Amino acid sequence: MTRSYAILGTGALGGFYGACLAKAGFDVHFLMRSDTNQARKHGLRVDSKSHGSFAIKPAQICDNPADLPDCDVALLCVKTTSNDQLDAILPQAVRPSTTCVVLQNGLGVEEQVARYVDPRRILGGLCFLCSNRVGPAHIHHLDYSDIRMGRYTSDGSAAGIDPVMEDVARDFHDAGITVNLAEDLVEARWQKLIWNVPYNGLCVVLRTTTDRIMSHPGTRAMAESLMREVADAAHAATGRTITEGFIREMLDRTDRMAPYRPSMLVDLDERRPLEVEAIFEAPLEAARRAGVATPRLELLTAQVGLIARTLVDGP
Amino acid sequence: MTRSYAILGTGALGGFYGACLAKAGFDVHFLMRSDTNQARKHGLRVDSKSHGSFAIKPAQICDNPADLPDCDVALLCVKTTSNDQLDAILPQAVRPSTTCVVLQNGLGVEEQVARYVDPRRILGGLCFLCSNRVGPAHIHHLDYSDIRMGRYTSDGSAAGIDPVMEDVARDFHDAGITVNLAEDLVEARWQKLIWNVPYNGLCVVLRTTTDRIMSHPGTRAMAESLMREVADAAHAATGRTITEGFIREMLDRTDRMAPYRPSMLVDLDERRPLEVEAIFEAPLEAARRAGVATPRLELLTAQVGLIARTLVDGP
């Protein structure tokens, strides 16, 4: 049996993964908010160095979640800044037998999905992907594409790996996408925050790239201190231990990277809403509830929050 | 006897105070680096709502410290970012009987002067002044002009008030400038940092004005937290207690202020060097030596440091 996929949010991320699955022969249905006319007429176009240039044509497009057919898997691909729309999407798009994969940043996102979807059918995914929407129904994929995926549990326990996860991972593999399965989704989400908090935060506040953060001794030390605060919060809030070796590896990896604009800086430059809640406020709140002090995270969150508000209100 | 004054650094600050003293009839000698031809030909011009528009003409100008006559009082008016020039100025400009008043921002500035000047003849002054150089030998005075002044002591003890301080304060008073005498210069310097650290820092990093810091709950809370960290550092490093009432008063005063660009943000906008060492690094170093944790001050110092470096190196 070939599984069918619903792409909830056909932007730079959902459009890319969905197009790769459709190209590999899966039955893929795209939920789109804009670009529907272009996509119906000319299909959905992807230009990628690693995955080639191709168009899905005709693409199975709809702009109303109620028009989606029953699908085996629904990929939730809207940004967390649009999560006020989950209420309008999920109850109709995710049917009783559908597995919902939450491909979003940060913490607490599966909890929001669990208001509408049976928690036992929720997976979470962390995407390592650089892709942009460059025109109507036209996506430019720049680099990376892999996903780290784990099973959500209401009590935050590690659920291990099961056949449903393996099926989804195999489908993605057939579409040219590597999915690394995580035994423990909570640990995977905190591990990703170890990188995202310091580099998204400092690069947005200072409007600069990762290499400059790393080459100035003061900000380099602060990136490391922020990692430790996030690790302390993870431990206090969830019992997960993020090792010294993991922190070193994140620093070393960033040293080896070409000058990089983290996704939140790209959002800022494009004047898109910033994912402050999922990436900053949620871990800060977790730290507070656990009674652990994270003063640098607190200051950085306030700074990013003011910048996000400036984007909305104007300076 | 009418006291004579040497103005060491005839910029927006030294030019303003010196011109007011000269206008009041004191014998004032200006040490200038630039604008000397303009000042010799057309005098030194001040436009001020509160002090009037006037020119000191002829102004007694020199561009070599060795050419200054013996003066009773030397006002050190260069920014701390030019303190690498003290070596070229002070040994010649400050004679054995001269009182040197250090009109500079931050911590540790009198200590630098004490390498060249008998410590018993050093006073420190904190200026509450908004003035700009708007053209060659032409100063625009916008608002405020008062100075809080105290006596420097090598051991950091409170020296109280003495006749020399009272004489200088009276001269300034005759020139239309209020000088509040402080019994304890160290306390006065830390009290000024209570305001300067959060508002200079947050406004520079976020490129915004005080009113926006205060109207966003996150950054408002951080301004208050930064004040407490500076107060903790002051207590641990010097034994001075900055009261809860003082912190409240600084917050209330900032709430009542019109939208304000702190001096360091003006420096940034004008692409002038930032006084990172005197305002941020010196108090942070004092906290470190005293063994008190100031994590928010540490992060803010690193951020301001990167911005200062970007001004020098380019982005």
pLDDT tens-digit map of B281-309: 999 999 999 999 999 999 999 999 999 99
Mark whether A154 and A290 lie in a shared domain: no
The pLDDT of residue B78 is above 90: yes
Which residues in chain B are contacts of A230 at CB distance < 8 A? none
| Chain B residues within an 8 Å CB radius of A219 | 302-303, 305-306
> In this structure, are A297 and A201 located in the same domain?
yes
Q: Are residues B301 and B215 in the same domain?
A: yes
- Mark out chain B residues that contact chain A at CB-CB < 8 A: 202, 205-206, 208, 212-213, 216, 218-219, 221-222, 225, 295-296, 298-303, 305-307, 309-310, 315
Residue B312: per-residue pLDDT: 84
Minimum CA–CA partner of B202 in chain A: A303
Please check whether residues A225 and A165 belong to one and the same domain. Answer: no
B206–A315: do the CB atoms touch at under 8 Å? Answer: no
ipTM of the complex model: 0.92
The domain total for chain B is 2
Residue that terminates a domain, selected from B124, B155, B183: B183
Helix/strand/coil (H, E, C) string of chain B?
CCCEEEEECCCCCHHHHHHHHHHCCCEEEEECCCCHHHHHHHCEEEEECCCEEEEECCCEEECCHHHCCCCCEEEECCCHHHHHHHHHHHHHHCCCCCEEEEECCCCCHHHHHCCCCCHHHEEEEEECCEEEEEECCEEEEEECCCEEEEECCCCCCCCCCCHHHHHHHHHHHHCCCCEEEECCHHHHHHHHHHHHHHHHHHHHHHCCCHHHHHHCHHHHHHHHHHHHHHHHHHHHHHCCCCCHHHHHHHHHHHHHCCCCCCHHHHHHHCCCCCCHHHHHHHHHHHHHHCCCCCHHHHHHHHHHHHHHHHHHHCC
Q: What is the mean pLDDT of residues A260-275?
A: 94
Please tell me whether residues A149 and A32 are part of one structural domain.
yes
Boundary (domain end) residue, out of A136, A162, A183: A183
Mean of the pLDDT values across residues B111-133?
A: 96
Looking at the structure, do residues A205 and A295 belong to the same domain, yes or no?
yes
Same domain, B147 and B205: no
* Same domain for A274 and A201: yes
> Same domain for A178 and A259?
no
**CB within 8 Å: A219 and B310:** no
- Among A208, A225, A309, the residue with its CB nearest the CB of B216 is A309
State which residues form the domain around A168: 4-183
pLDDT score for B286: 98
* Same domain, residue pair B191 and B239: yes
pLDDT in tens, A193-250: 999 999 999 999 999 999 999 999 999 999 999 999 999 999 999 999 999 999 999 9
Among candidate residues A134, A152, A183, the one where a domain is terminated: A183
* Smallest Cα distance from B195 to chain A, Å: 17
Q: What is the mean pLDDT of chain B?
A: 96
A192 is catalytic: yes
- B216:A306 CB<8 A: yes
CATH of the domain at B64: 3.40.50.720
CB contact under 8 A, A206 and B295: no
Residue B210: per-residue pLDDT: 96
Q: Note the pLDDT of residue B2.
A: 87
Instruction: Provide the pLDDT confidence category of residue A1 given band limits of 50, 70 and 90.
Output: low
Together in a domain, B219 and B235: yes
Q: Given A295, A296, A302, which is nearest B218 (Cβ)? A: A302
Q: Do A219 and B298 touch (CB under 8 A)?
A: no
Contact B219 A302 (CB under 8 A): yes
pLDDT tens, residue by residue, A87-120: 999 999 999 999 999 999 999 999 999 999 999 9
- Chain A residues close to B269, C-beta within 8 Å: none
CATH number of the domain residue B224 falls in: 1.10.1040.10
Tell me, yes or no, whether B22 and B135 share the same domain. Answer: yes
How sure is the predictor about A273, in pLDDT bands with cuts at 50, 70 and 90?
very high
> Can you give the pLDDT at residue A5?
98
